């Protein structure tokens, strides 16, 4: 018997891991379109592990933050790889959150019985984006401080609670309080909230079979793959794929710190890519000051979507309104992000943004309803006439 088997048998005889009654997976789940959740779990683990390592050396503070980050990147063995991969993994996680979100949206996975999984997912995505934002400040470079100031400005626009939220998040205006608040949020408070939400997300996931592809019935008695050891090994392999890709990317394109804060070297005040679309809408006059109402409206719509989309069918052709709204937002996200990078901070008059915004919405509604009615017609003509 191999030594690995012997060790495993010993561990299992004491910990009874293989007896943990977790649900098996249907065969259709062994498919790349089902990988996004595993990627997100793997990214979270990686960020916590590398974040702990960075905390060994990082020293918050106006005079120490930049120098200690520079020290990690130039003096600590593998420090650059760990710092770079921490940042790239955060980017990857945010990107995959968008993919996971749109996948579940288009496939209607928010419908019964997964409404609460969906709502928790929305809350998790807000936490993940806020974690990225709070971490960006910590190296204290010119650009990271400028980007954080953009965020402070946006937070203050939030109706009623904005100024309070800004003072809780960023402190009393001194650099020292900004460091302590943002560090506490980034390394303790937000990860703890994410951990709890993730636990709930997984608990609910365990209660239902993984959502079948469209057209396949729930719990259709598909052949089940045991969670242990096959599905666990499969998920580990998917996780290693992400870790490997990010490590290779980090080795090929290591990060270099920009100029330190206060160095008066001009930098373009552009936020991180995942907030760039939002920043572009801030440039749309005269809605700039009301942009947080738009964001709030979008979040409320997303939280309510499982209750608004009453159609029992998950097929896209049966949900034209929701498909049009989803696609419109996806297109806004891509176009506005590119636009912000091409013309950062440039004011946009209503004569330009209004036709673009409403045009994209109109075209999407038109296409989605054409497909919906065409499909209905075809469905009818294919019906077998009564004998
Ligand atoms: C940090 C963020 C997130 C993590 C770590 C996470 C993780 C996971 C994992 C591991 C699964 C199970 C495997 C799978 O179906 O892929 C899952 C399922 C699910 N997630 Fe997420 N997720 C996150 C964000 C979201 C978001 C933003 C949404 C949508 C708003 C969402 C909605 C769902 C739903 C509805 C399921 C059930 C899927 C099914 O039963 O097939 N999640 N998530």
Q: What are 74's two structure tokens? A: 């130039």
Task: Using pLDDT thresholds of 50, 70 and 90, give the confidence band for residue 167.
Answer: confident
Exposed, middle or buried, 30 (CB in 10 Å: 0-12/13-18/19+)? middle
Spell out the residues 6+ positions from residue 24 whose beta carbon is closer than 8 angstroms to its own.
224, 225, 226, 227, 231
Q: 235 CB less than 6 Å from ligand 1?
A: no
CATH number at residue 238: 1.20.810.10
Q: Within 10 A of 350 (CB to CB), how many other CB atoms are there?
A: 12
> Quick one: 231 and 278 in the same domain?
no
Q: How many percent of the chain have pLDDT more than 70?
A: 96
> Quick one: 252 and 276 in the same domain?
no
Q: What are 260's two structure tokens? A: 């330190």
How far apart CA 233 and CA 239 sit, in angstroms, is 10
> Quick one: 136 and 43 in the same domain?
yes
Q: 367 CB less than 6 Å from ligand 1?
A: no
Q: 101 CB less than 6 Å from ligand 1?
A: yes
How far apart CA 18 and CA 13 sit, in angstroms, is 9
Q: How many angstroms does the Cα of residue 334 sit away from the middle of ligand 1?
A: 22
> Quick one: 215 and 307 in the same domain?
no
Residues 340/276, Cβ–Cβ less than 8 Å: yes
- 382: pLDDT strictly greater than 60: no
Q: What are 365's two structure tokens? A: 């509604």
Average the pLDDT over each of 46-50, 221-225, 227-231, 248-252 and give the range with the smallest value.
Answer: 221-225
Secondary structure letter of residue 63 according to DSSP: T
Spell out the residues 6+ positions from residue 25 whose beta carbon is closer than 8 angstroms to its own.
210, 224, 225, 227, 231
Compute the average pLDDT of residues 289-302. 89
Considering the domain boundaries, does residue 68 fall inside one? yes
How far apart CA 321 and CA 47 sit, in angstroms, is 37
Output the pLDDT for position 234: 96
Distances in Å between the Cα of 337 and the Cα atoms of 271, 324, 343 are 10, 20, 10
Q: How many angstroms does the Cα of residue 100 sit away from the middle of ligand 1?
A: 7
**Residues 31-45 pLDDT 10s:** 999 999 999 999 999
Q: At what angle do helices 36-57 and 65-74 cross, to 10 degrees?
A: 110
Q: 97 CB less than 6 Å from ligand 1?
A: yes
> Quick one: 307 and 170 in the same domain?
no
- 169: pLDDT strictly greater than 50: yes
Q: How many angstroms does the Cα of residue 162 sit away from the middle of ligand 1?
A: 29
Please state whether the predicted TM-score (pTM) of the whole model is above 0.85. yes
How far apart CA 253 and CA 165 sit, in angstroms, is 36
- 212: pLDDT strictly greater than 60: yes
- 24: pLDDT strictly greater than 90: no
**Residues 38-68 pLDDT 10s:** 999 999 999 999 999 999 999 999 999 999 9
**Residues 333-376 pLDDT 10s:** 999 999 999 998 899 999 999 999 999 999 999 999 999 999 87
Considering the domain boundaries, does residue 46 fall inside one? yes
> Given 260, 289, 307, which residue is the final one in a domain?
260
Q: How many percent of the chain have pLDDT more than 90?
A: 72
> Quick one: 131 and 48 in the same domain?
yes
Render 75-141 in DSSP notation, one character per residue: TSTTHHHHHHHHHHHHHHHHHHHHHHHHHHHHTTTTSTT-HHHHHHHHHHHHHHHHHHHHHHHTT-B
Output the pLDDT for position 6: 94
Output the pLDDT for position 184: 97
> Quick one: 129 and 188 in the same domain?
yes
Q: Within 10 A of 59 (CB to CB), how many other CB atoms are there?
A: 14
> Quick one: 156 and 277 in the same domain?
no
Output the pLDDT for position 381: 54
311: left (phi over 0), alpha (psi -120 to 50) or beta: beta
Q: How many angstroms does the Cα of residue 203 sit away from the middle of ligand 1?
A: 11
Residue numbers of the domain that contains 140: 24-260
Compute the average pLDDT of residues 232-243. 97
Considering the domain boundaries, does residue 173 fall inside one? yes
Output the pLDDT for position 387: 45
How far apart CA 178 and CA 332 sit, in angstroms, is 32
Q: How many angstroms does the Cα of residue 37 sit away from the middle of ligand 1?
A: 5
* CA nearest ligand 1 atom 15, residue: 37
Considering the domain boundaries, does residue 181 fall inside one? yes
> Quick one: 249 and 274 in the same domain?
no
Secondary structure letter of residue 289 according to DSSP: G
- Residue 70: cis peptide before it, omega within 30 degrees of 0: no
Spell out the residues 6+ positions from residue 352 whose beta carbon is closer than 8 angstroms to its own.
none
- 385: pLDDT strictly greater than 60: no
Task: Using pLDDT thresholds of 50, 70 and 90, give the confidence band for residue 380.
Answer: low
How far apart CA 163 and CA 149 sit, in angstroms, is 14
* CA nearest ligand 1 atom 24, residue: 121
Q: How many angstroms does the Cα of residue 201 sit away from the middle of ligand 1?
A: 7
> Quick one: 140 and 216 in the same domain?
yes
> Quick one: 250 and 276 in the same domain?
no
Output the pLDDT for position 148: 85
Q: What are 78's two structure tokens? A: 């593998």
* CA nearest ligand 1 atom 23, residue: 121
- 154: pLDDT strictly greater than 80: no
Output the pLDDT for position 272: 87
Considering the domain boundaries, does residue 14 fall inside one? no
Render 318-364 in DSSP notation, one character per residue: G-HHHHHHHHHHHHHHHHHHHHHHHSTT--B-HHHHHHHHHHHHHHH
Of the chain, the end-to-end C-alpha distance in Å amounts to 68
Q: 234 CB less than 6 Å from ligand 1?
A: no
Considering the domain boundaries, does residue 115 fall inside one? yes
Beta strands in the chain (DSSP E): 25-26, 224-225
Output the pLDDT for position 146: 85
Q: Domain tally for the chain?
A: 2
> Given 260, 281, 306, which residue is the final one in a domain?
260
Q: 100 CB less than 6 Å from ligand 1?
A: yes
Q: 205 CB less than 6 Å from ligand 1?
A: yes
Considering the domain boundaries, does residue 158 fall inside one? yes
Q: How many angstroms does the Cα of residue 174 sit away from the middle of ligand 1?
A: 38
> Given 198, 228, 260, which residue is the final one in a domain?
260
Q: Of 73-87, 199-213, 223-237, which one has max mean pLDDT?
A: 73-87
**Residues 96-134 pLDDT 10s:** 999 999 999 999 999 999 999 999 999 999 999 999 999
How far apart CA 178 and CA 60 sit, in angstroms, is 10
> Quick one: 52 and 182 in the same domain?
yes
Task: Using pLDDT thresholds of 50, 70 and 90, give the confidence band for residue 222.
Answer: low
How far apart CA 70 and CA 73 sit, in angstroms, is 5
Considering the domain boundaries, does residue 8 fall inside one? no
Calculate the average pLDDT of the chain: 92
């Amino acid at each position: 018997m191999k030594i690995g088997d012997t060790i495993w048998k010993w561990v299992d005889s004491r910990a009874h891991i293989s007896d943990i009654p977790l649900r098996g997976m249907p065969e259709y789940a062994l498919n790349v379109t089902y990988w996004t959740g595993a990627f997100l779990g793997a990214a979270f683990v990686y960020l916590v592990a590398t974040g702990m390592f960075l905390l060994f050396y990082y020293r918050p503070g106006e005079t120490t933050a930049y120098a200690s980050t520079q020290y990690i990147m130039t003096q600590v063995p593998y420090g650059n790889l760990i710092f770079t991969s921490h940042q790239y993994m955060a980017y990857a996680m945010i990107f995959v959150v968008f993919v996971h979100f749109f996948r579940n949206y288009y496939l209607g996975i928010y419908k019964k019985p997964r409404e609460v999984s969906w709502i928790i997912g929305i809350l998790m995505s807000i936490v993940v984006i806020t974690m990225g934002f709070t971490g960006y400040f910590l190296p204290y470079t010119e650009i990271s401080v400028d980007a954080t100031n953009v965020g402070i400005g946006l937070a203050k626009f939030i109706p009623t609670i904005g100024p309070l939220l800004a003072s809780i998040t960023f402190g009393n205006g001194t650099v020292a309080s900004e460091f302590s608040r943002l560090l506490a949020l980034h390394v303790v408070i937000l990860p703890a909230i994410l951990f709890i939400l993730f636990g709930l997300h997984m608990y609910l996931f365990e209660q239902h079979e993984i959502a079948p592809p469209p057209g396949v019935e729930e719990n259709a008695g598909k052949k089940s793959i045991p969670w242990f050891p096959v599905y666990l090994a499969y998920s580990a392999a998917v996780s290693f794929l992400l870790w490997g890709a990010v490590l290779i990317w980090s080795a090929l394109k290591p990060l270099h710190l920009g100029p330190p804060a206060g160095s008066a070297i001009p930098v373009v005040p552009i936020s991180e890519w995942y907030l760039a679309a939002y920043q572009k809408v801030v440039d749309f006059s005269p809605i700039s000051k009301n942009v947080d109402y738009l964001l709030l409206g979008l979040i409320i719509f997303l939280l309510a979507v499982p209750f608004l989309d009453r159609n029992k069918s998950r097929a896209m052709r049966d949900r034209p309104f929701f498909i049009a709204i989803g696609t419109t937002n996806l297109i806004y996200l891509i176009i506005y992000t590119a636009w912000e990078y091409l013309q950062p901070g440039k004011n946009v008059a209503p004569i330009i943004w209004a036709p673009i915004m409403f045009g994209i919405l109109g075209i999407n509604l038109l296409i989605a309803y054409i497909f919906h009615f065409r499909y209905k017609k075809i469905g009818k003509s294919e019906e077998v006439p009564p004998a």
